[in-house]
């Protein structure tokens, strides 16, 4: 009986293995990044990045074509490749600024429907064209790894809120939130984080510049290992590290006249204080000054979002969980004039190993 069962298992395994498409690495071209740009006349220009692995470093090969859709574009690019193009190892998708301002949903949805692509894929908007950025040369591991690592470490340890294919689509489909993506640019031989591209639906309508990224992140995400430099007066600066933040959004008033309350909590450690030595007696002043700056900067950002009629914070989603029989349409009809009150609580835990 056992022998018969083993024979059946071997037969099924053989049949199943015969259904799998075999792809040998040496016989295919692996796409590691794709860039899409507006080409006019309802067409897009696509650039595919293919890593060429060598002993000392990874070089980059790019293929470019123009078509009316992503699917047709990838078919056109197959005609330029000496081996079949395979997209199961894509690290990042880039969208040129002009295309992003026209709308990118069809060019996001295509990759979301591809089962070989993970939802943790990074997306970004490029200041300029994605083609020009991908044709640079960055690092020894290839452009795709360099760019994905650039976004990864800025999300985990710096000022970019969490974002990927899954989170972008989640915000896009949500009635109470608008998506955002990192905004990057090429300058010479380097790539920089320029800021954040803010979407209304699938179109970019505004950009957060780098000096406001800290305040944007504490509104939309949470720090676990952040840093920030605070100016106390004309010549006095303090740098705070190991910043951890949290936020809470609550409401008062009726559903027809809601008031929004956003409370931001922050803890950190003094890293540097100049030009004078740091004294523990000045700690309350630092905390009050930091709270004042947070309230001012975040309130300015929120007013800007209201004027643009966008909601990257997701205030609408928080309101939905607070009010019964909630209607998004009614909420956003009053959104531009919605009273939003921000409070901040800053605590400096300690001032380093010397103290």
Residue 79 has pLDDT above 90, yes or no: no
Spell out a b/e string for 291-315, using b for 16 or more CB atoms within 10 Å of the CB, else e.
bebbbebbeebbeebbeeebbbbbb
pLDDT-derived band of residue 352, with 50, 70 and 90 as boundaries? low
Residue where a domain terminates, one of 179, 209, 239: 209
The reply to whether 229 falls in a domain is: yes
Q: Kindly state the percentage of the chain with pLDDT values over 70.
A: 90
At 343, list the tokens.
Answer: 């409070």
Same domain, 194 and 277: no
Residue 337 has pLDDT above 90, yes or no: yes
Sign of CA dihedral 281, 283, 286, 291: negative
Nearest to 261 by CA among 288, 290, 295: 295
| Nearest-angstrom CA–CA distance, 275 and 17 | 70
- Average pLDDT on 306-317 reads 97
Burial class for 25, CB neighbours closer than 10 Å (0-12, 13-18, 19+)? exposed
Of 15-24, 61-70, 297-306, the range with the lowest mean pLDDT is 15-24
According to the model, what pLDDT value does residue 84 have?
A: 81
According to the model, what pLDDT value does residue 246 have?
A: 96
Mapped onto helix, strand or coil, the DSSP state of residue 23 is coil
The reply to whether 105 falls in a domain is: yes
Question: Which residues fall within 8 angstroms of residue 51, CB to CB, at 6 or more apart?
Answer: 30, 32, 58, 59, 60, 61, 142, 143, 144
Residue 150 has pLDDT above 80, yes or no: yes
- Report the CATH number at residue 342: 3.30.300.210
Residue where a domain terminates, one of 209, 232, 253: 209
Same domain, 38 and 186: yes
- Average pLDDT on 111-121 reads 86
| Number of domains present in the structure of the chain | 2
| Nearest-angstrom CA–CA distance, 330 and 320 | 11
Same domain, 78 and 141: yes
Residue 22 has pLDDT above 60, yes or no: no
Instruction: Kindly tell me the number of DSSP H helices and DSSP E strands found in the chain.
Output: 11, 14
Same domain, 231 and 160: no
Same domain, 192 and 246: no
State CA 51 to chain mean position distance.
Answer: 24
State which residues form the domain around 145: 25-209
Same domain, 234 and 279: yes
Same domain, 110 and 194: yes
Strands 180-187 and 259-274: unpaired
pLDDT digits (tens, 9 = 90+) for 162-177: 999 999 999 999 999 9
Residue 110 has pLDDT above 60, yes or no: yes
The reply to whether 182 falls in a domain is: yes
- Average pLDDT on 284-299 reads 95
Q: What is the value of pTM for the model shown?
A: 0.88
* Residue 85 or 313, more confident: 313
Same domain, 306 and 334: yes
């Amino acid at each position: 009986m056992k022998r018969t069962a083993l024979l059946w298992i071997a037969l099924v395994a053989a049949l199943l293995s015969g259904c799998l498409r075999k792809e040998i690495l040496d016989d295919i071209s692996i796409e590691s990044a794709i860039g899409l740009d507006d080409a006019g006349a309802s067409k897009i220009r696509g650039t595919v990045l293919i890593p060429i692995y060598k002993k000392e470093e990874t070089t980059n090969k790019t293929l470019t074509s123009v078509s009316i859709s992503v699917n047709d574009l990838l078919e056109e690019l197959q005609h330029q490749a000496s081996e079949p193009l395979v997209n199961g190892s894509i690290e990042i998708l880039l969208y040129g600024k002009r295309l992003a301002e026209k709308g990118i949903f069809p060019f996001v949805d295509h990759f979301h429907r591809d089962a070989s692509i993970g939802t943790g894929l990074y997306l970004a908007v490029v200041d300029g064209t994605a083609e020009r950025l991908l044709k640079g040369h960055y690092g020894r591991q290839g452009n795709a790894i360099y760019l994905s690592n650039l976004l990864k470490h800025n999300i985990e340890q710096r000022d970019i809120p969490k974002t990927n294919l899954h989170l972008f689509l989640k915000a896009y489909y949500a009635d109470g939130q608008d998506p955002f993506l990192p905004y990057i640019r090429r300058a010479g031989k380097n790539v920089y984080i320029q800021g954040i591209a803010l979407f209304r639906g699938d179109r970019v309508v505004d950009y957060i510049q780098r000096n406001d990224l800290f305040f944007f992140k504490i509104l939309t995400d949470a720090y676990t290992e952040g840093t920030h430099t605070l100016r106390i007066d004309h010549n006095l600066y303090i740098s705070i590290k190991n910043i951890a933040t949290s936020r809470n959004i609550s409401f008062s008033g009726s559903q027809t006249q809601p008031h929004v309350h956003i409370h931001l909590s922050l803890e950190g450690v003094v890293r540097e204080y100049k030009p004078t030595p740091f004294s523990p007696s000045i700690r309350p002043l630092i905390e009050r000054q930091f709270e004042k700056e947070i309230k001012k900067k975040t309130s300015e950002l929120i007013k800007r979002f209201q004027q643009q009629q966008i909601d990257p914070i997701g205030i609408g989603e928080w309101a939905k969980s607070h009010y019964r029989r909630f209607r998004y349409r009614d909420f956003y009809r009053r959104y531009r004039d919605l009273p939003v009150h921000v409070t901040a609580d800053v605590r400096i835990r300690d001032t380093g190993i010397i103290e």
